[in-house]
Structures are given as C-alpha cells and as structure tokens.
Structure 1
Amino acid sequence: MIDFQLDQLYGWMNALLWPLFRIAGLVSLAPVLGESSIPMRLKVGFAVLCAIVVAPLAGPMPSVPPASYAGLLIALQQVVIGMALGLCMRLIFTATMMAGEFIGLQMGLAFASFFDPATGANTAVLSRLLNLVAMLIFLAVNGHLLMLDGLIRTFTILPVGASLNPNGWGVLLDWSAQLWISGMLLALPLVIVLLTINLALGILNRTAQQLSVFAVGFPISLTTGLIMLAIVLPQSSDFLTRFFEEGYQAMARIAQGLAGQ
C-alpha cells in the first residue's frame, strides 16, 4: 500500500509550480517566445514543458502550501523575476525598432506605417524590417536557447523563496539606457549619410532657388537610404550578436542584484 503525507504532496507540487511561474513570466515578455502571434495555449504548454525539464535542476523548494498567502507571494515573486528577465531581452528588440524609426525619419518614410500585431500599435515599415532581421539573427545564433540557459542559471543565483533586493531593479533601469544608445548606434551610419544629403540639398536650394528640392529630395533620400540599407544590414549581425551577449550578461546581473550579491 502506497502511503504519503501532505508535506510530500506539497513538495511534489512546489517542485513544478515555482519554476513554472518564473518561466511563464519570462515567456510572457521574452522576444520570439512571447510574440502575440503565438497562441496562448502554445505558450503555456511550452512553459510547462520547460518547467518539467528545469524542476530537477532548480534545487530544493520551500515547503509552503501553494494555496496559502505565503505561496501566493512566492508565486507573484517568481512571475515578477521572470518578467524582469524577459523585459531585459525585449529591450534589445525595442532598440532595433527605435533604430528603424530614426532611419525612416531621415529617409522620409516616417509616414509609411501599418498596424503591428506584436506591439498593438502602428509601426514604421523599417522598424518592422529591422525587428524581423534581429529575430532571424537571434534564432540563428541560438539566442532563445541561451536565454533559457540564463534563466536556469538564475535558480542557482536567486533561489526560489529568497527575498528580493531592490538593487536588482536599479540594474534593470541601467540596462534600459541601452535602448537609446544601441538604437542610435545601429542607425548612425544611415543617419549620417542621409543627414549629409539633406544638408547638401539645403545648400543647393539656397544657391539654385529655381530647383524644387521637394521634387528631387525625396527620391534621392529614398534611393540612397535603400542602397545604404543593402550595405549596412549584412554587417549588422556582428553588432546584434554582441548586443545579445550583453543581454545575457544583463540577465545575470539582474539576478545577482535581486539576490543582493
């Protein structure tokens, strides 16, 4: 006859539930995995599958009844940790979309926008293009697997049930500064060239006032921008790969900051 106690049942449940909440928080905001085009059932199934694999590696879990106030607090804590880690990687793709906004503004394509189901708002065409390129590179370098590996390592740095240190949120805010810096660096080659062309057209307009700059400026800016995109996009893989590596390191720093290390 098989006999087990209530504490053993709680232990089996907690071994799966607490990692599941942290993984679900990551999947809700992580790039590629958390896209709105992916059905919710598929996201939940993927999170459960990952939790089953991660549970033996996550270490001992606190023996707290899941339906108690302490259990609900731990569940909320794990969801917040996972969302912070997912937001850390999401900022990389937001930076690429911001670079597309900068480039489109200089090329005269700022008006060319359409509804993006991933963001739920109107997005510039070049922003969507750069975002797709970044996602393809992310998948090509196995970034999704490295992101999950970084999440698994956080269970060693920040065990389930440990108190959170507010310094971790400061690390996340510091990392968010890369949203502007990296977005501008990615767009800088095209912005410089297109700004030079606009300055040249401005000087031309002052010297030859009979020439309509508005008639010739847009085709020149658009053609030059497309040529520069064809040159710069193949070279952006190294920049984005380094950016992804910095994102993995930022995930570890956030976990260490939350752990008070």
Structure 2
Amino acid sequence: MVEVTFAQLHGWLVAFLWPFMRLSAFIMASPLWGHSSVPRQAKLGLVVLICVVISPTLPPMPDVPIMSWAGFGIMIEQLLIGAALGVVMHVILATVQAAGDFIALQMGLGFATFFSPDTGANTMILARILYMITLLMFLAVDGHLIAIEILADSFVTLPIGMGGLNLDAFDMLARFGSTIFEAGLLLALPVVAALLIINLSLGILNRSAPQLTVFNIGFPMSLTAGVFLLMVLMTDLGRFLKHLFEMGLGFMESLVTAMVPLS
C-alpha cells in the first residue's frame, strides 16, 4: 500500500501551485490565449501542460506553507508577474488596432463597426482586420513560442519566493502603453496624411464650386483613395510588424529584469 505523507503532498503542491499561478495569469491576460473564443478547458489544459513541462527545471521552491500569509503573498506576486507580461502582448496587438481606428476615421468608415465579444464594445471593421492580420503574423513567426520561452525563463530571473518586486518595473509598463499611440500613429500616418490632403482639397473645391457637394464626391473619393493607400501600406506592413514584435518581446525581457528587487 502506497502511503503519502503530508510533507510529500505539500511538496507536490508547492512545486506546481505557485508556477501555475504565474502561468495562468499570463494566459488569461494575453490576447491570444485569453481570448473569449478559446474554451476555458483548453486554457486550463495548456497551463497544466506548460507547468508540468517546466516544473522539473525550476529553482528550489521556498520552504513556506501554502496556507499562510507568506504563501498568500507569494501567490499574489506570481499573479502580478504573469499579468504584467500578458499586458505587454496586449500593447503589441493594440498598436495595430489603434492604427486601424485612425485610418478608418479618416476614410469615413467610423460607422462600420461591430460588437466585439472579447472587448465588450463596438470595434471598427478595419481595425479588426488589421488586428487579425497581426495576430496571424505573430503566430507565423512563432512569436507565441518566444513569449512562452520568456515566461519560462522568468522563473530563473525572478525565482518564486524572492521577497518582493521592484515597483519601478510597473512604471515602465505604464510608460510602454504610449507605444499604442506612438507606433500606431506612425503606421497610419502615410494614409492619414494623404487622406487629409484629399479632404482639404475637396473642401477648397466645395467652396469654389458649391454644387460639388462632399456627399457626392468626397465620400466616394475618400473611400477609393483609402482602399488604394491601404493596398500600398500592406506592402510594408511586414517590416513594421517585425520591428513591433521585436520591440514588444524585447520589452518583455527587460520588464522581467526590471522586476528584480533592489538589494
């Protein structure tokens, strides 16, 4: 008869519970695995699978009871680390979505929206298309595997039970959110600038020839020019996404290093 002591059971729980918290927070916070269309069973199974694979390679766990205030503090610490890394991935994909919003508004497609269940709000069609393209490109270049590798390596840089986090890292994360507007505007700037010039020209034309109304000429011309400019933009989208992915994944590594508590 196989007997399991309380010390053995507690050791198994410690080896899997705290890594499970960091991994589950990352999966739930990331836009790829945390999407509402992904079944909860699939998310849970993926977290368990990754946890089983990386648990034997982790540094020794702290000798802290799970059912204690210290154990609860370690659990919150792991949730914060995983959620912070997942937010970085959100920023990467939201950058292209913001660019789609800027372009759609300038093209006159602000009314072309649909309800997005993952955000719980209306999303512009063009922004959603660019979002899906970016997500597929992220999968095509194995960005999801690199993100999981960075998360697995974080257990070496940020071992469980290290005794606190450097709060300056969360300030870095908040400042990194400006990438959504900065890089998103840079991506949309060629199309937005060209459409702005077209709209200004149509405004001058309407003042000189009032019979040429904006509704008769402006909307069709803006839509036609916008579609053509989007075709031109797509030829350089791959280079932009490569730089965006490199910047985002590099920031994930920098964020992990910045979370190391000051001695």
TM-score by length of structure 2 reads 0.94
Shift of 1:5: 4.9
What secondary structure, in the 3-state scheme, does the structure 2 residue paired with 1:118 have? coil
SS of equivalent to 1:201: helix
Partner-residue secondary structure (3-state), 1:80? helix
- Report the equivalent of 1:112: 112
**Matches of 2:89 and 2:221, distance apart in 1:** 36
User: Contact between 1:11 and 1:63, CA under 8 Å: does it hold in 2?
Assistant: no
Q: 1:175 maps to what in 2? A: 176
- Is 1:208 the counterpart of 2:228? The answer is no
Q: Distance in 2 between matches of 1:260 and 1:137?
A: 35
Tell me the equivalent position of 2:92.
92
Structure 1 SS opposite 2:123:
strand
Task: Give every structure 1 segment of 4 or more consecutive aligned residues whose post-TM-superposition deviation is greater than 4 Å.
Answer: 1-5
1-side partners of 2:152 and 2:57: how far apart?
A: 8
2:151 and 2:140 map into 1 onto residues whose CA distance is: 19
How much has 1:54 moved relative to structure 2? 1.3
- Structure 2 counterparts to residues 11-30 of structure 1, below 5 A: 11-30=11-30
Deviations 1:111-136 (A, max 9, x none): 11010112111000011011001001
* Distance in 2, Cα, partners of 1:36 & 1:233: 28
What does residue 222 of structure 1 align with? 223
- Number of equivalent positions: 261
Aligned to 1:55: 55
CA distance in 2, matches of 1:27, 1:14: 20
Read off the aligned partner of 2:131 and give its amino acid letter.
N
Are the counterparts in 2 of residues 10 and 63 from structure 1 also a CA contact under 8 Å? no
Question: Unaligned stretches of 5+ in structure 2?
Answer: none
**Deviating more after overlay: 127-136 vs 153-162:** 153-162
Q: How does 1:23-38 map to 2 (within 5 A)?
A: 23-38=23-38
Which shifted more, 106-115 or 151-160? 151-160
1:90 Cα deviation (Å)?
Answer: 0.7
Which residue type is aligned with residue 249 of structure 1? G
What's the secondary structure of 1:259's corresponding residue? coil
Structure 1: stretches of 5+ with no match in the other structure = none
Q: Is the aligned partner of 1:159 residue 2:162? A: no
CA distance in 2 between partners of 1:180 and 1:260 (Å): 30
Residue 157 of structure 1: how far off its partner (Å): 1.2
C-alpha displacement of 1:248: 1.2
Q: Per-residue deviation at 1:137?
A: 0.4
> What's the secondary structure of 1:35's corresponding residue?
coil
Identical-residue share of aligned pairs (%): 43
CA RMSD after TM alignment? 1.5
Tell me which amino acid in the other structure corresponds to 1:212. T
How far off its partner does 1:138 sit?
A: 0.3
Shift of 1:4: 6.1
The answer to whether the 8 A contact 1:27-1:34 is kept is yes
Report the Cα distance in structure 2 between the residues aligned to 1:9 and 1:63, rounded to whole angstroms: 13
Per-residue deviation, 1:234: 3.5
| 1:260 to partner: Cα distance | 3.3
